Amino acid sequence: MRWGRDQHCRLAAGFAAAVLSLPAFADESTGFYLSSLAGASRPGGQNATVNVNNVGSASGNLQLGTGFVFAQTGGYAFANGLRPELEISNRHNSGNTVGENGLTVMGNLWYQIDQNGYFFYVGGGFGDAELHASTQGNSASDNGPAWQLGTGFGFAVTPHWAVSVDYRHLETLDRSTFNFQGGNLQTGYSSNAGMIGLRYYFGGKLADAAIMPVDPVKVVPLSH
């Protein structure tokens, strides 16, 4: 079953209410931060319809391979674990006959738990997707609203720096129409992305860097 705009809006509202009702945990990773993420993007099942002028139309799944994704984010980490964030990302995937590029600007809200230099977060976001498609030397673009859910975990390496492993599922709310010479392509857009992230906290208040336990050194007296 394909969800409509109302169902997505109710899902987003329920998710936001659930996040805001979560209890606060002691958290030292507060303040402004910037992060860079990079990884692989795998398209979801994208049903497409191709319309050719004076010929007709055909439908089927758009065959795209695994591509790349880059993202830049900036936000503020509150002591109660909430992290509102602005994210700009770019995804590219290509197939035998079609290439697709998605540039998104998202407002995200994450909830993060920190413990002994390690952290885990979950959340989502809503924003705009600018999509570009190309085939046989022709290109076209369309844009529309999009949403995403995500999660990740990582650890601090210094009081300022942290690394993370991140996952994002992104979808557009509506099908896009790409008008090419001689016809058009209509398709939805979805993506599953796995990334590695590097985050910098300006306040330098990130929890102590995660340190692997080390056995105490035993002192053996020398015999004379």
CA 20 to CA 82: how far, in whole Å? 8
- In the chain, where are the structural domains located? 5-201
> Which residues, given as ranges, of the chain have pLDDT below 70?
1-29, 45-63, 96, 176-184, 204-224
Q: What is the pLDDT of residues 29-58, one digit of tens each?
A: 689 999 999 999 988 766 566 656 555 555
Q: Is the domain defined by 5-201 classed in CATH 2.40.160.20?
A: yes
> Considering the entire predicted model, what is its pTM?
0.74
**Kind and range of the H or E element at 15?**
helix 5-20
Specify the 3-state DSSP secondary structure of 17: helix
What's the confidence (pLDDT) of residue 213? Answer: 54
3-state percent helix, strand, coil for the chain, nearest multiple of 5: 5, 60, 30
Average pLDDT value for the chain? 79
Q: What is the pLDDT of residues 12-30, one digit of tens each?
A: 555 545 444 444 333 456 8
Specify the 3-state DSSP secondary structure of 8: helix
